[in-house]
Amino acid sequence: MTDRVLTLDALCAVLVDTLRETNASLARDVPLARDAGADADADSNAGSDGAGFPYRIERETKYALRTIPYSAFQHVCRYQLMELRFSVPCCVVTRRVGSTWQTVLMLHLPAWWQRLGRAPVCRGMHIDVRADADAPIALRFSPIERIALPRRGDRWTLLLTQNQKQTLASSAGPATETPPTPSRAALHRRIAQWLRRTFTANEIHDDTAH
């Protein structure tokens, strides 16, 4: 399965746009009472024969019909999302990006053969998006258990800027996966060679069987 590569900046930009579009939708869908203008004034002066919600009070003499003007049901304030918090488990690994090796975030555990001799570093990535702030994005990382990462699903890889790498490095625990020791690296090579020989032998056997 091909990895899908996305920059963390692009993900943050989507979250910022989502917060702004949600607040804009709330402003459009919930008109204020003062925005009604002359209609609200007309309704507030309406009597029993004016526009409004009619009702009667029990035990009142003659059950007089009363009316609540529709403007009384208008909102006097608007709701607004002040903050959006987004968290996702990820794995910190070193991968080749272009011609260089970089620290990246994967939203799934690496394949088992990529974890041989390497201890995966699992982090919870927390993105706080604030509506009214000079810096709308606040990024932080926290240690999480390895079991929190999915083993299947879309293979997303997030690329980090230098500042984001520094934020990751300042979090508790190791900032990247443990490099394999020489003995473990040799074991990794021997297992890879054994797998290649095994698959090659199976292919030859299948060809001769036909």
Please tell me what DSSP assigns to residue 89: E
Token digits of residue 157: 């890889």
The set of residues, in sequence order, having a beta carbon less than 8 Å from that of 46 and lying 6+ positions away, is 52, 67, 69
Q: What's the confidence (pLDDT) of residue 43?
A: 45
Give the Å distances, CA to CA, from 195 to 25, 113, 182, 207. Answer: 56, 11, 20, 18
pLDDT band at 192 (very low <50, low <70, confident <90, very high): confident
Q: Is the pLDDT of residue 32 over 80?
A: no
Give tens-digit pLDDT for 88-103: 999 998 888 888 888 9
Minimum mean pLDDT among 143-152, 160-169, 200-209: which range?
Answer: 200-209
**107 vs 155: CA distance, rounded Å:** 7
Q: What's the confidence (pLDDT) of residue 50?
A: 52
Total Cβ atoms within 10 A of residue 163:
10
